[in-house]
Structure 1
Amino acid sequence: MSRNDDSREDEKNTSWKNYIRAHRDRNYCIPPHKPSQHPLTTQHNLDKNLQPATMQFFIQSTLLAAMFATATLAQPTGSDSVSAAASDLITVCKDTNFNNCKNFSGEVNKCYDLPSEWNDVASSVRAWPGRWCYIYKDFACGGFRGGPIQDDNAHSDLGRTGWSDWTSSYMCFNK
C-alpha cells in the first residue's frame, strides 16, 4: 500500500467515526412523535377515557369471551361425538404378517396399556381406517414412541424397525 492509499484509508475511518459520533444519540426505530399522535392504536389511546374499574371489566370480559370460544370449539359435534365414543382403534398381532391378532378399542386421544398377555409380544400392528396411532415401549405411554401407524402404512413386521416384542401401550387419534 502506498502512502497515498494510507491517507485515503484514514480519511474513510475518520469520516465514518464522525458520522457515528453525529448520529449515535439518535434512535431511528422510534417515531419522532408523541404516542398520542401515533397513527396506530396505542395503550395510551386505548385507556385514556376508561376508568380503572371499566378497564378491569373490559379485560375480564375479553378473557371470559376467549375462554368460552375455546371451550365451544373443543366440544365434539355431529360425527365427532360418535368417533369420540369407544371404537376399534388398533389391531395388535403376536405374529408377523397380521397373524394371531386382537383388535383393541377405546377412545381417541387417550392412552391405553396392553393387557399382560399382550405386553411386549406385538410383532405386527395396524391402525383402523381414519385413525393413526403411536405405540410405546412402556406402560402409560412412556418410554420410546413408535409411529405414527396409519391404516395406509400398517407394519406387518415390527422386527424390521426394531420394535418386535417391545410394545406396552398405545394412543390413537382421528386423522
Structure 2
Amino acid sequence: MLKIAIITGSTRPGRNNAAVAQWVLEQAQQRNDASYELVDIADFNLPLLDEAFPAAYQNYQNEATKNWSAKIAEFDGYVFITPEYNHSIAPALANALSYLNAEFSNKAAGIVGYGSAMGARAVEHLRGILSELQLAHVQKTGMFSLFTDFENFSVFKPTEQSAASVQPMFDQLISWTTAMNTVRAGDMANA
C-alpha cells in the first residue's frame, strides 16, 4: 500500500497549520487508497540549516537531520500544508525542505495552501522548491481562505466549496505516486 505523509508547514506557536493538517489527515483517512500519516516538522527541532555538506551528499552530521531524513524516506508521496507568510511559504518549511534531497527524489507531492489569498502565492513558491527536489507536484491544490474558512482567523472551519478542493488533489496524488514508484523501481533496476 502507498504511504503518504501529510507534512505541516509551520512551527509557530498558536499556528493554524496544525488544525489544517489534522483536517486534511482526517479527509485522507476516509479514503482506502493509501496509508496516511501526519508528520509535524515541529517535532524534529530542526535548527536553521546547519549541516556542513550539501543535502545531495546525504552526509548528515546532526541527529535532528538524521531523524528527519529517516522519517521522510519512509514515504512514497507527500501532502504539504503551507501557510502563506509574506507572499511565500513559511521559513520553517523552507528550512526543513533544505535539509534533504534524495529522500524526496522521484516521488509525488500534493499541496494544500491557505492564507488571505488562499495561499496561492505560497503554493506557487513551493512548486519551484519541489521541482528542484525532483518531487512531481500535482496540479490540483487544496486552497483555503483566512476570511471564509477560519472563524475569527483562528478556528479552521472550511466551507463546503473549499473542502471540496482537497479530493481532486488526493486523486491526482495517488495516480502520480503510483507512477513515481515505477520510476524509482526503474532507477533501482538500472543502478
Whether the TM-score (by the shorter chain) exceeds 0.5 is: no
Give 1 or 2: higher strand fraction.
1
- For the aligned pair, the TM-score class normalised by the smaller chain equals under 0.3
Greater Rg over alpha carbons, structure: 1
TM-score normalised by structure 1 residue count: 0.20
